Chains A and B, each alone.
Chain A
């Protein structure tokens, strides 16, 4: 298994543009998490899904952010419209129900909003 896959790895966009980040979890994992990493706040949980259903989106900063998981192998995080303060590294992680709460992370998407 290639692990959690994220695309794109880097995204540079202008303020006001729509940004879509993509994630493919590890096959068989039924939890998927979206995190944002910044120097000031570290790693923040934005939203997570269980069996494709959003469970907790209390970390989503505002209505400009939305996330979907149309099937077990794909999720998107969308920012519309984007703002410079959204610049960060966005991580996707997945895990299985079995065993401990270890999460497996993707390589991240570095987003820069100019």
Chain B
């Protein structure tokens, strides 16, 4: 079955440190992958998707089909990056499958 795994429930870093939020998926075909972010008291919103190959708020994510990973990275974390991050997969259906999420805490 298709699955998205985010192994870390909590990731804490200091401001200016690099950040990598891990996401692995299980699917043999060509998935569409997303990162969603939920800031405190705000709704879940799309951060980026792999087909766009874009950088949003300094974050990037590269799809690695060999390792079935879609890790989210940022070279220098900011306090305003503190939020809940969800990796999600879509595969030839209408649905998104979400990981369990990683809470990122950036300390000053």
Contacts and interface: CB of A to CB of B under 8 A. Distances in A.
B95 A100 contact: no
Q: What is the size category of the interface that chain B forms with chain A?
A: 20 to 34
A31 B95 CA distance: 10
Given A41-B100, A42-B86, A42-B100, A50 B94 contact: yes
Contacts of A44: 98
Q: What is the size category of the interface that chain A forms with chain B?
A: 20 to 34
Interface stretch (A68-76, A78-86, A105-113): A105-113
Contacts, number: 53
B98 A101 contact: no
29 contacts: A31-B94, A33-B96, A41-B100, A42-B86, A42-B98, A42-B99, A42-B100, A42-B101, A43-B86, A45-B95, A45-B96, A45-B98, A48-B95, A50-B94, A55-B94, A56-B94, A56-B95, A91-B44, A100-B49, A100-B51, A100-B90, A101-B34, A101-B90, A101-B94, A101-B96, A103-B46, A105-B36, A105-B43, A105-B45
